[in-house]
Amino acid sequence: MRPIFRCLAAMIAMSLPANAETVSSFTLDNGMDVVVIEDHRAPVVVHMVWYRVGAADEPVGKSGIAHFLEHLMFKGTDDLEPGEFSEVVAANGGRDNAFTSWDYTAYFQRVAADRLDLMMTMEADRMRNLQFSDEDMVTERAVVLEERNQRTDSDPAALFREQRSAAQYLNLPYNIPIIGWRHEIEALDTEDALAFYRQYYAPNNAILIVAGDVTPDEVRTLAEAHYGPLHPTEGLAERQRPQEPPHLVERRLQFADPRIGTPYVLRSYLAPERDSGAQEEAAALTMLAQVLGGSGITSVLARKLQFETDAAIDASAFYNGTSYDDTTFGVYIVPTPGQPLDEAEQALDRAIAEFMDEGVDAEQLDRIKSQLRAGQVYDDDNVEGLARRYGVALTSGLTLEDIAAWPDLLQAVTAEDIMAAAQNVFDRRNAVTGWVGAQNEERAE
Amino acid sequence: MTVQLHTLSNGFRIVTEQMPGLASASVGIWVNAGARNERIEQNGIAHFLEHMAFKGTERRNALEIAEAIEDVGGFINAYTSREMTAYYARVLEQDVPLAFDVISDILLNPAFDPNEIEIERGVILQEIGQALDTPDDVIFDWLQEDAYPDQALGRTILGPEERIRAFGKEDLSGFVKEHYGPERMILSAAGAVDHDQLVRLAEATFGHLTSRSAPTVEQASYKGGERIVQKDLEQVHFALGFEGPNYRDPDIYAAQIYTGALGGGMSSRLFQEVREKRGLCYTIFAQTGAFDDSGMTTIYAGTSGEEVGDLADITISELKRSVDDMTAAEVDRARAQMKAGMLMGLESASNRAERIARMVAIWGRVPTPAEVVQKIDSVTVADVRRVAEDMLSKSAPTLALYGPVGQNLTRAKIEAGLKH
């Protein structure tokens, strides 16, 4: 297991340079990591348990089991009836939810600070004592299939995303949808869910994050009482997933669906993620995405494609470096109505080629950096969002030191760094280019 | 936390709330005019106007507006609802005057450049196309149209395509002239803000405007209706509406607690009965929306064509059952959720700025959170059951269905089910 704090001291408190909040961390004897983010402005806490397991850790052929299990976690335990978890949270004026990604599964409640004890009692209970029957499995499978209908099959953009990811990753399990392929969801059974649960839902695979009106000492006392007695899973190794081989050829997709009202061209490139202790490349790519697409008006792609020419009604770039394994860098163009996708793609390529010649505008870079500095202040004013970003980063293999270093790394990125990152990332062999529209269009020779 | 309200002699209001410990602020102008203030031939103009907000003023072109805010790390946005239009920004403490300057410039000196109008027309037409392709959006528009047929409150915010194609500069400036009077604008700011500074700025910038009489708003009259649209979709979208209290009605709190207990979250009746016990859907919820003179309680679910009949039957049975057996525990739970939702929402500066602006628009003052909590606390189980009964006995249902509706499900059938 990667330690979330490299120094591994029993308790370390640090004030992050740009932030007012104090973050501290410690590890329970059973291996459960605990992070406390203090914010005493309101008598509220966010209690989150993040498991270092997600859709990319599923056994082959069992796609969707991580997300399915997230649903089952509300079914009940020896002490709680099905549905009672949410009932208790609601009766105590709280809000609860859960989410699954490729790299993590997380559960959170937001409650008055004096209800933290109760939340920990229930969350610790369902970490090891979940109960569900074959009948629960049948009912919940219907719910999950309906969820897939609603969120994926009803949404052509989501269907395209699924196909694009499958084409993007030749080997990494990021090529599987989080919700799962329909035929595999239909076949998931109680044994699959239980095996996954027993293996991964354990204190030594979890990170507890408590943010809000609490002290580290209070959290330690409660965490030791509730999570401390839970048994770890023996022999749980650090995640090792199949890695990408070199990509030798661009993949091109033509995705046609009559429900698509607004056609677009989207290209994504395989890109490095933030690596612990080596986040510089990801910092440069983060800034590249800002320069190309951070603002609907002042960024390079908007300027060149929407204002200097009328090729597009929208054009932007995206990159999310917080990922356990390789991630993607993307660009897209939504052409002006009536423009063929072929021309749109050419316009997008021209805009990027011009940018590669012209380099980064110094004023724009300054503007982006001041936005990021202001963003730090806004983040600080939203403790729940902050806690969530810690959870995502920590389950993506980063440490608290990496999180603390990130804002300064972004500020240190130079125009040269950005151009070098662009040179590296814009390699068509690593790309998937998709044309998405109501019907297929011809590609001009 | 201190709320301060000041009214200029022409009726323009400034409301602020200081939030100790915050280094940023949310500041904006809320205009008491939205889609329902449009005459039929103007339908869509309030939203069009909002789109033009960042497209240039007499002093700044679109790029300069964006740069002014981005240079200081802020962001700016706008939205249109049926009764309000809001223009707001999030900035650091020292940049509040700048945000005020940009927003007031947008409201007072819009350029309405013909080229920009053409560009935005294209964007809005795309937006209309997208809304039609998003079944769980469009179904609420249909429900609203059928609940308030041939009325301003029933019309869509985006407006019909043919009107959007025809709007020009005169239409935009005409709506501003009619509706953006000083007594209908509220400058609202929350976070790290200085009330006196904003009053001075408002006086200097808006003090010269003369007040004008507000055009009368067409009274809403809930009728109820039905729309069933067959389409080959993955799911049937089911929306059922009933008339509810308006936002000044004393029953509004009981109605909100009722919908919370009925379908407000994972512990609610509909969620437990329809989803958790029977697996008939992924999404199901109930909500109460309120307007100046009417309101609507809505139940929404997405399910398969074969199961929509069962889903409707269970929903009807839960609606009927709740009149007699809604328990104190359920009411207390919904009450706790409602209070917590309100109090937790108060942590964000944007939510606070929005809340105080709305309160001033509705009540002319800002009730304290304690006052609201007291009202929520005073709702009894009997109140909730009475509201549930009133809803079923006094209001005709509105039904909207969209998708592969395989069964003979109609409004008449639902009405019959509710009676027996």
What would the DSSP string read from start to end of A375-407?
A: HHHHHHT-HHHHHHHHHHHHHTT--HHHHHHHH
Report the distance separating Cα B268 and Cα B283, nearest Å. 12
pLDDT of residue B1: 56
Identify how many contiguous H helices and E strands chain A contains and give both numbers.
15, 12
Establish if B336 belongs to a structural domain: yes
Tokens of B258: 């009722």
Tokens of A422: 């662009």
The pLDDT mean for chain A works out to 92
For residue B242, give Cα distances in angstroms to B139, B273, B303, B394, B414. Answer: 15, 21, 21, 9, 12
Question: Do residues B377 and B307 both lie within one domain?
Answer: yes
At which of B140, B172, B206 does a domain end? B206
pLDDT of residue A95: 86
> Helices A362-380 and A383-395, interaxial angle, to 10°?
110
> Residue A87's CB: how many other CB atoms inside 10 A?
19
Asked whether the beta carbons of residue A93 and residue B340 sit closer than 8 angstroms, the reply is: yes
Asked whether the beta carbons of residue B126 and residue A94 sit closer than 8 angstroms, the reply is: no
By the 8 A CB rule, do B157 and B51 touch? no
DSSP character for A442? P
| Chain-centroid distance, C-alpha A51 | 13
Averaged pLDDT for residues B140-144: 96
φ, ψ (nearest 5 deg) of residue B3:
-105, 135
* CA-based nearest distance B281→chain A, Å: 5
Find the largest Cα–Cα distance for chain A. Answer: 69
Question: Do residues B283 and B165 both lie within one domain?
Answer: no
Q: Shortest CB distance from B70 goes to which of A83, A295, A373?
A: A295
Q: Shortest CB distance from A297 goes to which of B66, B283, B333?
A: B66
pLDDT of residue A7: 38
pLDDT of residue A365: 96
pLDDT of residue A320: 94
Instruction: Give the sign of the dihedral formed by CA A323, CA A329, CA A334, CA A339.
Output: negative
pLDDT of residue A444: 61
Cα angle B61-B62-B67, degrees, rounded to a multiple of 5:
100
Question: What CATH code is carried by the domain that includes residue B289?
Answer: 3.30.830.10
Question: Do residues B189 and B280 both lie within one domain?
Answer: no
By the 8 A CB rule, do B175 and B45 touch? yes
By the 8 A CB rule, do A363 and A20 touch? no
* Structural domains of chain B, count: 2
Question: Do residues B149 and B230 both lie within one domain?
Answer: no
By the 8 A CB rule, do B37 and B50 touch? no
Asked whether the beta carbons of residue A150 and residue B54 sit closer than 8 angstroms, the reply is: no
Question: Do residues B263 and B376 both lie within one domain?
Answer: yes
Q: Buried (b) or exposed (e) across A179-210, using 16+ Cβ within 10 A?
A: bbbbebbeebeeebbeebbeebbbbbbbbbbb
| Chain A CB contacts of B272 below 8 Å | 83
Supply the range of the domain harboring residue B77.
Answer: 2-206
Q: Which of A425, A227, A265, A225 is nearest to A347 (CA)?
A: A265
By the 8 A CB rule, do B113 and B120 touch? no
pLDDT of residue B340: 85
- Which amino acids of B are annotated catalytic? 50
Q: Which residue of B has its CA nearest to A91?
A: B333
What is the number of CB-based contacts under 8 A between chain A and chain B? 156
Q: Which of B187, B177, B172 is nearest to B11 (CA)?
A: B187
Asked whether the beta carbons of residue A90 and residue B275 sit closer than 8 angstroms, the reply is: no
Asked whether the beta carbons of residue B282 and residue A82 sit closer than 8 angstroms, the reply is: no
- Which amino acids of A are annotated catalytic? 70
pLDDT of residue B335: 94
Question: Do residues B103 and B195 both lie within one domain?
Answer: yes
pLDDT of residue A8: 36
Place of tokens 């044309």: A435
Q: Where are the alpha helices (DSSP H) in B189-296?
A: 195-206, 252-263, 269-270
Asked whether the beta carbons of residue A374 and residue B336 sit closer than 8 angstroms, the reply is: no
Establish if B217 belongs to a structural domain: no
Question: Do residues B255 and B388 both lie within one domain?
Answer: yes
* CA-based nearest distance B380→chain A, Å: 16
Place of tokens 């084409």: A167
* CA-based nearest distance B215→chain A, Å: 36
Asked whether the beta carbons of residue A143 and residue B282 sit closer than 8 angstroms, the reply is: yes
Question: Do residues B16 and B156 both lie within one domain?
Answer: yes
| Chain B CB contacts of A260 below 8 Å | 133
Q: Which residue of A has its CA nearest to B303?
A: A146
| Chain A CB contacts of B281 below 8 Å | 143, 146
Residue B76's SS3 state is: strand
Q: Which of B281, B35, B253 is nearest to B163 (CA)?
A: B35
Establish if B391 belongs to a structural domain: yes
Report the distance separating Cα B199 and Cα B205, nearest Å. 10
* CA-based nearest distance B345→chain A, Å: 11
For residue B30, give Cα distances in angstroms to A280, B107, B189, B357, B361. Answer: 43, 11, 10, 7, 9
A433: Cβ contacts below 8 Å, ≥ 6 apart = A250, A251, A252, A253, A265, A266, A267, A345
φ, ψ (nearest 5 deg) of residue B23:
-110, 0
Place of tokens 């009912």: A139
By the 8 A CB rule, do A223 and A32 touch? yes
Establish if B291 belongs to a structural domain: yes
pLDDT digits (tens, 9 = 90+) for B71-128: 998 989 999 999 999 999 999 999 999 999 999 999 999 999 999 999 899 889 988 8
List beta partners, residue B56. B61
| Chain A CB contacts of B136 below 8 Å | 150
Establish if B133 belongs to a structural domain: yes
Report the distance separating Cα B11 and Cα B207, nearest Å. 9
Report the distance separating Cα B33 and Cα B35, nearest Å. 7
The pLDDT mean for chain B works out to 94
Question: Do residues B149 and B101 both lie within one domain?
Answer: yes
Q: Which residue of B has its CA nearest to A259?
A: B133
Asked whether the beta carbons of residue A83 and residue B275 sit closer than 8 angstroms, the reply is: no
Instruction: Give the sign of the dihedral formed by CA B219, CA B221, CA B222, CA B225.
Output: negative
Establish if B264 belongs to a structural domain: yes
Q: Buried (b) or exposed (e) across B199-214, using 16+ Cβ within 10 A?
A: bebbbebbeebeebee
Cα angle B19-B74-A40, degrees, rounded to a multiple of 5:
30
pLDDT of residue A93: 86
* CA-based nearest distance B378→chain A, Å: 17
Report the distance separating Cα B245 and Cα B308, nearest Å. 28
Question: Do residues B252 and B331 both lie within one domain?
Answer: yes
Give the start-end residues of each E strand in A59-136.
95-100, 105-112
Report the distance separating Cα B358 and Cα B366, nearest Å. 9
At which of B154, B172, B206 does a domain end? B206
Question: Do residues B192 and B44 both lie within one domain?
Answer: yes
What is chain A's pLDDT, residue by residue, as a tens digit (445 residues)? 445 544 333 333 343 333 446 899 999 999 999 999 998 887 889 999 999 999 999 999 999 999 999 999 999 898 998 888 989 998 988 888 899 999 999 999 999 899 999 999 999 999 999 999 999 999 999 999 999 999 999 889 999 999 999 999 999 999 999 999 999 999 999 999 999 999 999 999 999 999 999 999 999 999 999 999 999 999 998 899 999 999 999 999 999 998 888 899 999 999 999 999 999 999 999 999 999 998 888 899 999 999 899 899 899 999 999 999 999 999 999 998 889 999 999 999 999 999 999 999 999 999 999 989 888 888 777 788 889 999 999 999 999 999 999 999 999 999 999 999 999 999 999 999 999 998 888 776 5
Establish if B46 belongs to a structural domain: yes
By the 8 A CB rule, do A339 and A311 touch? yes
Report the distance separating Cα A118 and Cα A120, nearest Å. 5
| Chain B CB contacts of A307 below 8 Å | 62-63
**Chain B interface disruption, residue of A154, A295, A303, A363, most B CBs within 10 A:** A154
At which of B153, B172, B206 does a domain end? B206
Establish if B211 belongs to a structural domain: no
B189: Cβ contacts below 8 Å, ≥ 6 apart = B15, B16, B17, B25, B26, B27, B28, B96, B198, B353
Residue A12: Cβ-neighbour burial (10 angstroms; 0-12, 13-18, 19+): middle
- Side-by-side strand order, sheet with B85-92: B2-7, B13-18, B185-191, B24-31, B85-92, B75-80
> Residue A56's CB: how many other CB atoms inside 10 A?
23
pLDDT of residue A337: 85
Question: Do residues B286 and B154 both lie within one domain?
Answer: no
